[in-house]
Amino acid sequence: MAIKSFHPPQRILMGPGPSDVSPRVLEALSRPTIGHLDPVFVAMMDEMKELLKYAFQTENELTMPVSAPGSAGMETCFVNLVEPGDKVIVCQNGVFGGRMKENVERCGGVAVMVQDDWGRAVDPQKLEDALKANSDTKIVAFVHAETSTGALSDAQTLVALAHKYNCLVIVDAVTSLAGSPLKVDEWKIDAIYSGTQKCLSCTPGLSPVSFSSRALEKIKNRKSRVQSWFMDLNLVMSYWGGSTKRAYHHTAPINALYGLHEALVILQEEGLESSWVRHKSNHLALRAGLEAMGLKFVVPEAERLPQLNAISIPEGVDDAAVRSILLNDYQLEIGAGLGVMAGKVWRIGLMGHASNKNNILVCLGALDDVLGRVKAPIQHGVAVAAAKKLLAD
């Protein structure tokens, strides 16, 4: 069997990630590969750190991309900060809080779970009650933007509560970075991780992270070695440090870093606050169309994540069949539900390069057509007009 070159179809990616990649990023990926210790590449690494500091709104010196996807960024935070026996309060309101629990336990920590309904933000009062009941807690962990449900939690309030009880804080910002207001220094977040494939419009495979000086103190004064050699920041810092002389740690994914650098340059050109506004305004246009159609959002408006829209599947509609028709007939990908929401919701992403007027109108038109074909109980022929009204304002 002669296997030939792989040429993927051109899709419109409006699921929970990856999102559409900017053509500028794709071009950057194709640039000549050079050595990962080449002085020119080292200079680009320094620029990357400054660009990531801007995206995170921080001056943390240890701000860098982990050479692996967002899940590895999560693990980097936990393996460096959680030691055997440490009590960690994990706030769970979706799939990814559960993954935090798994990380705590694999590090030998003790996870105390604060549970909220899926589709709701983390309740600060529940967190404070747990902190009062567990005075020996070392760390609080929560998801800022829960990708599995489209819920956005009040990170600033949750971090302030954790610090009130002398805890460090780990924050998942995989879906919020560059899409929703996120201010690491102002909110005093200790450790945070994200991914490149969402609102940064880059390819999957890298995980931006940032650690405060307070977090670094804990890492440097650990009683036990970090269980992961690859993710041990005491070693990685020698590679991503501030000096031009860098110690070899691993061969960085050079071309992938070109892509992230370009994505961050694009973000800088647009302006971080302008990116936040774009994601919000496009969400409002999509919402107008979906609600005109009669579709309902899962998350209350005040807790809703603009770039990830979870909507209830109409009664009697086959989830997989609709998504299959959208993919085959419109080259449009939307996401299925996860966990307890499997088969009950669709997740429509408006992230990064994919958050644009054309995608909103294509998505609404395609949904109108496909839901009509399967005889879903919706209002037909009104969604696109409702969205256009907001997009024209």
Q: What was the pLDDT predicted at 283?
A: 98
Same domain, 76 and 205: yes
Q: What was the pLDDT predicted at 141?
A: 98
Instruction: For 193-206, write each residue's pLDDT tens digit.
Output: 999 999 999 999 99
Considering the entire predicted model, what is its pTM?
0.96
Same domain, 223 and 314: no
Residue 243's pLDDT band (boundaries 50, 70, 90)? low
Q: Please check the confidence at residue 110 and state whether its pLDDT lies above 80.
A: yes
Same domain, 323 and 200: no
Q: Please check the confidence at residue 351 and state whether its pLDDT lies above 80.
A: yes
Mean pLDDT taken over the chain = 95
Q: What was the pLDDT predicted at 234?
A: 87
Q: What was the pLDDT predicted at 249?
A: 86
Same domain, 216 and 312: no
Instruction: For 133-153, write each residue's pLDDT tens digit.
Output: 999 999 999 999 999 999 999
Q: What was the pLDDT predicted at 242?
A: 56
Residue-number span of the structural domain to which 311 is assigned: 272-392
Same domain, 319 and 177: no
Same domain, 79 and 93: yes
Q: What was the pLDDT predicted at 37?
A: 87
Residue 248's pLDDT band (boundaries 50, 70, 90)? confident
Instruction: For 5-23, write each residue's pLDDT tens digit.
Output: 999 999 999 999 999 999 9
Who's near 90: CB < 8 A, 6+ residues apart? 97, 100, 101, 104, 111, 112, 113, 114, 140, 141, 142
Q: What percent of the chain has pLDDT over 90?
A: 93
- Per the domain annotation, does 9 fall within a domain? no
